[in-house]
Amino acid sequence: MAVAAATETGARPSRAGRRLSTPAWVGTVPFLAYVAIFLVWPTGIVVVDALKNPNGAWAFSNITELGNPLVRGYFIGSFKLCLLSSLLGAVFGAILAYAVASGDPDGTVRRLYLAVSGVLAQFGGVTLAFAFLALIGPVGLLFHASWFYSFPWGITVIYTYFQIPLMVLVFLPAIDGLKVQWREASENLGASAWQYWRHVGGPLLAPAFLGGLLLLFANALSAFATIIAWENQIAYIVPQQISTALSSEVGLSNVNVADLLALGMVIMVAIVMTGYALLQRRAARWLR
């Protein structure tokens, strides 16, 4: 449909006198086809199948199954875990980011913490569960935490391990954006440290902080490997239940359970990421 328009615009920048047998956009077809097959199509399958019953007939009433107490339980579990781990991660990450930012901008500490944060923010996965098992598990080296296998606290502590570094990475630019002059100006006007943070620093950092919080929330929402290595018997959160639904056929009757849960997750992530994008735009105003 867009092809006709595309050809015209695509042809314009070409040199005069060159014969154009194929429009320029054809060069992007391999990429677009690849993304269509392995990203757009699977996502489409999830959405369509969630709204069908197993016989293949449309059943928009499926969506009401998201309100089913059983299903709702997994979403509440996910919500609890994501909220706790993102709150803890955001607060501690912000403190750490402030400590890092207040040092030499080219110093070893900053470079080390940034490099390590980059690694640890990616360090989810099964390995992370093993590491905490070795530290505070039933035969842990440090001590045996009786709450290690309790939901959500045990897993929240493990999640903060990758949430804090991520917060450092996304929050540091905002702190760097705080100008020394603002602090000096408020001090010259007689403001105490508390007043400075309450009236100047705090409000300036708030959008970036909330944005970071939402990013952490989405990050926790899609994490799966860590929690399955931590506890694979009981399903607490949506991804665990999707995994169970995929490997067994039992579940809610006449609904494609996995697809429905996946659709619910897509909706949740979409809401969170939209909020993130809006807050990022708001925060960017001060980061010049």
Per CB under 8 A, 202 contacts other proteins: no
- Which residues 6+ apart lie within 8 Å of 240 measured at CB? 74, 224, 227, 228
Between 215 and 234, how does the x/- string for binding to other proteins read (CB under 8 A)? ---x--xx-xx--xx--x--
Least separation in angstroms between CB 98 and other proteins: 8
The span of 82-90, 96-104, 146-154, 206-214 binding other proteins (CB under 8 A) equals: 96-104
Smallest distance from other proteins to CB 25, Å: 5
| 124 in Cβ contact with 162 (< 8 Å) | yes
112 counts as binding other proteins under rule CB under 8 A: yes
Give the shortest CB-261-to-other proteins separation in angstroms: 8
The residue from 111, 144, 198, 199 that contacts other proteins (CB under 8 A) is: 111
In the range 140-159, which residues lie near other proteins by CB under 8 A? 140-142
* Residue 256, beta-bridge partner list: none
CA distances from 211 to 95, 117, 207, 217 (A): 16, 18, 6, 10
Q: Residues binding other proteins: what is the number (CB under 8 A)?
A: 85
Minimum CB–partner distance for residue 161 and other proteins (Å): 7
Minimum distance of other proteins from residue 2's CB (angstroms): 10
Shortest Cβ distance from residue 73 to other proteins (Å)?
18
Identify which range of 6-14, 56-64, 65-73, 202-210 contacts other proteins by CB under 8 A. Answer: 6-14
Rounded to whole angstroms, the Cα distance separating 77 from 70 reads 11
Least separation in angstroms between residue 144's CB and other proteins is: 12
Q: Examine residue 166 and tell whether it contacts other proteins (CB under 8 A).
A: no
61 part of the interface to other proteins, by CB under 8 A: no
- Any contact of residue 92 with other proteins (CB under 8 A)? yes
CA angle at 155 for the pair 151 and 159, rounded to the nearest 5°: 145
Taking a C-beta distance cutoff of 8 angstroms, is the pair 261, 74 a contact? yes
Binders of other proteins in range 7-36 (CB under 8 A): 9-10, 13-14, 24-25, 27-28, 30-32, 34-35
Q: Considering the rule CB under 8 A, would residue 44 count as an interface residue with other proteins?
A: yes
Residue identified by tokens 């990022």 is: 280
Q: Is 259 in the site for other proteins (CB under 8 A)?
A: yes
Listed in sequence order, the DSSP H helices in the chain are 3-11, 29-35, 41-50, 69-101, 108-122, 125-136, 153-176, 180-188, 193-196, 202-222, 225-230, 238-247, 257-284
Site residues for other proteins, window 117-136 (CB under 8 A)? Answer: 118-120, 122-128, 130-132, 134-135
Token pair for 62:
């499926």
Joined tokens for residue 178: 């705080």
Q: What is the DSSP letter of 15?
A: P
CA distance 94 to 15: 52
